[in-house]
Amino acid sequence: MALLSMTGYGRAQGEAGLGVEIRTVNHRHLDVNCRLPKAWGALESEVKGAVAQHFNRGRVELSVVFERSAEHSGFQVDQAVVAGYLRAVESLPQGGPTRTLDVATLLTLPGAVVPSMTQLEPEEGRQPLLSAVSEACEAVMVMRRREGVALAEELTSRMDGIEEAVSRVAERRPVVVAEALQRLRARVADLVDDVELDEDRLAHEIALLADRTDISEEITRLGSHMVQFREALQGGKPVGRTMDFLVVEMNREANTIGAKCQDAEMAAAVVLIKGELEKVREQVQNVE
């Protein structure tokens, strides 16, 4: 199973002009919003259940649409809605506005005239609706897989850049320690002039300096997080939250390395690492 994006669109045409459109975007949990014909409200829980069989995370916007066809090209009056408008007019107080409503005006009011298909009883529309929902979900999944491939390629490229920068930091560290040793020796020599150096004390100070600037543990942990991130890129299950956690941990290690760096070249590499991690974090938000 490839990496999945949470962005997708799908449409399916069901029986008798019924159609379903689904749009998905990123979200921390699965959030399904259904726009069904008013009379089909009882089917909402089944529709959401059908959607949940396909998606684990993301905001899902599902709409039922009706297209005119040779078989279902007509419209009809929703008697319940019209009756409600008439009752509202009759309830106006005496002596106020004229309490009449002509047919032409009445039929332009929201919900008064609807496509014939929407007047099907819920049980009649249940199976066509659920079949169209399932088909639309599959169409969304096709797009999400395609987007997932593009995401995986970009994230892999970003991780390659981060690994290269981490390698530069690791290779530079021994050089930085050696340079620090030379500077320390030169500084002590300038201070004491012809006085003989206490090599033991100097070695102790060097050891303290090396300990304060030691980033070996951070480099090791950062490398472990990058391996786990690459494994998550192979997919197989929803990994968005795992990736998000790993990015946070990698950024933590990068910050610690940056705080310990006493070298411009290493600092520049850390800046690059943090910049790439921020771009990775933005992309990971869209991974299921």
153: pLDDT strictly greater than 70: yes
pLDDT average, residue stretch 2-8: 89
pLDDT average, residue stretch 249-260: 92
pLDDT average, residue stretch 109-125: 67
pLDDT, one tens digit per residue, over 20-38 is: 999 999 998 999 999 988 7
The residue extents of the domains of the chain are: 8-73+120-147, 148-284
| 131, two tokens | 């079949």
According to CATH, the topology of domain 148-284 is Butyryl-CoA Dehydrogenase, subunit A; domain 3 (1.20.140)
pLDDT, one tens digit per residue, over 47-82 is: 999 999 999 889 999 998 876 554 555 667 777 887
Q: What is the pLDDT of residue 242?
A: 92
Q: What is the pLDDT of residue 190?
A: 67
| 163, two tokens | 């690994």
Report the range of poorest mean pLDDT among 28-32, 148-152, 183-187.
Answer: 183-187
% pLDDT > 90, the chain: 45
Which neighbouring-strand residues pair with 76?
114
CA distance between the termini of the chain: 12
Give 113's pLDDT tier (boundaries 50, 70, 90).
confident
Mean pLDDT of the chain: 83
Q: Which residues contact 94 (CB under 8 A, 6 or more apart)?
A: none
pLDDT, one tens digit per residue, over 189-217 is: 666 665 566 666 666 666 666 667 778 88
Neighbours of 129 (CB within 10 A): 24
Q: Where are the alpha helices (DSSP H) in the chain?
A: 44-52, 79-90, 103-106, 122-192, 199-212, 216-233, 240-260, 264-284
Q: Are 51 and 31 in contact (CB under 8 A)?
A: no
